[in-house]
Structure 1
């Protein structure tokens, strides 16, 4: 007798993250919602992650890739193996609360026009502080994690419309993915969830939060905060999103702030000894410009389900720059 397909497929991507897998997969094993499968994508690890999971968690389907294809394409490979109608992406450096999947499913069923559901990521070491309650673009062109550093509670404890979810713990409806595609492999890592949120919004799909779908998250555990790899991809992919997704009217309206913020980010990178990575990122954008403009043409004429600027993150640029510079 053929087993019914699971409603939910959880895609966990790992790259040399064997130290996190026992906690991450063990928390999934303890979920109160049971109609799910787990697809673990091993992104070319050399620490024995794939074998460890096959031996210790035989109920997990393992997709063993020969090399690191990045967060975006790694998750795409996981999607190809997934059977569920609801796709959950989950970082390997997380611990999901027992009702995590149940709350995501309830939120998806409550809002059938929402193609994206944002879980609540909290700081792994200080779970009373928010890591991300969704994501949103700022008028300065920078992508922000909503609520980052704020205490858990109001105003983040009620479901709300947001621009998109952080892919570290997110639910995506397969119906939406079939229409607009999943992650853009050109991003490799960082910003691919912003790009997907833009495409979802442009395709008429809302994003709602599920504040009781809680996950503890170790921020930037794989690539490292402030590493040249991180600086390069964040600086490059910010412009990928701007050139690929932003409607012309908004791009022109906010261009002075976007350029000022970009200059500030470049100066911060120089002060922190990461000017080379920041400079390479901008040359990479110029090299990719024809490809980005071709993708931009695919977005032409699409409209958002609700007024876009209602979902922008506001008033966070100065605070972010102060934090990066170590200022109070």
Structure 2
């Protein structure tokens, strides 16, 4: 038993027209305004009934025919994991990776693991990752809901990393599934490193760190977090994006009252050890600034 739900997030290109007539059994939810990636996916997850698993697929992610089958098989064979990431290839660049899950660093930055390298350079085995890219991922529905789903105040960008962090604090784990393959255009609905992407990504980066990082790791990583934020201010000012990057950090600070309330609730319900969390968080100071990082 499975359901297919398409959320039309106020598109104006007619891409959702006629879906229900051409493909029986598909439900289309039409939003009159763009409510963002986070809220749109939460809406779809709430709508499904009787499903143990939810698989998310972006409009710019093109799955191979056995993508969902391989994710489901991995879930059955690895019950210790409750959410799963895909093997993402760059659309239009044969053999080149878009990513094999997301890496999260102690400073608060996150990036697409293995971005830009050849598929031949990585092992073809499953392994634990911090977070999946939610453009093509699968979650156990009950833990998704227990964690509160995507934070809708994020709108888009970093919401999958934030959710993964909250899931990990609840003792859940994520598995990369190399046989679950998709081709990903990447930022098909927003130009990469646009003002929109810079603003939301860097505001949400701060909120994710403050909400979720356990106290001992928070203070340990705070100097790196400050450096990462200052570096972003300089970097994007030099590329002519001073307004969105400064606005992102200002709005992050303005929103800290709400974020601290969320932090209080999240931190009192931690069900994992600091040791297990350290194992999946990158810590090398220079790692986020290495070449070929596809920062989120």
TM range (shorter): over 0.9
Which of 292, 298, 307 is 2:276 aligned to? 307
Show structure 2 runs of 5+ residues with no match. Answer: none
Matches within 5 A, 1:5-154: 6=1, 36-83=2-49, 84-153=51-120
The count of aligned residue pairs is 290
Equivalent position to 2:207, from 228, 237, 240? 240
Aligned counterpart, 1:294: 261
- Return the structure number with greater relative CO, CA threshold 8 A, min gap 6: 2
Q: What is the distance in 1 between the residues matched to 2:186 and 2:150?
A: 20
Q: Deviations over 1:141-187 (max 9, x none)?
A: 10111111122145442111111111011000012123222111011
In 1, distance between residues paired with 2:79 and 2:121? Answer: 25
Contact in 2 for aligned 1:232/1:277 (Cα 8 Å): yes
Whether the 8 Å contact between 2:115 and 2:293 is mirrored in structure 1 is no
Structure 1 residues not aligned, in runs of 5+? 1-5, 7-35
Deviation per CA, 1:253-297: give whole Å up to 9, x if none. 122222112111111111111110011111111221111000001
Q: Distance in 2 between matches of 1:247 and 1:78?
A: 31
Give the 3-state SS of the residue equivalent to 1:51 in structure 2: coil
1:316 aligns with 2:287: yes
Q: CA RMSD in A?
A: 1.9
Q: Is the 8 A contact 2:212 2:267 kept in 1?
A: no
Q: Is the 8 A contact 1:133 1:156 kept in 2?
A: no
TM-score by length of 1: 0.84
Map 1:80-229; keep pairs closer than 5 Å. Answer: 80-83=46-49, 84-153=51-120, 155-229=122-196
TM-score, length-scaled by structure 2: 0.92
CA distance in 1: counterparts of 2:237 and 2:173, whole angstroms: 38
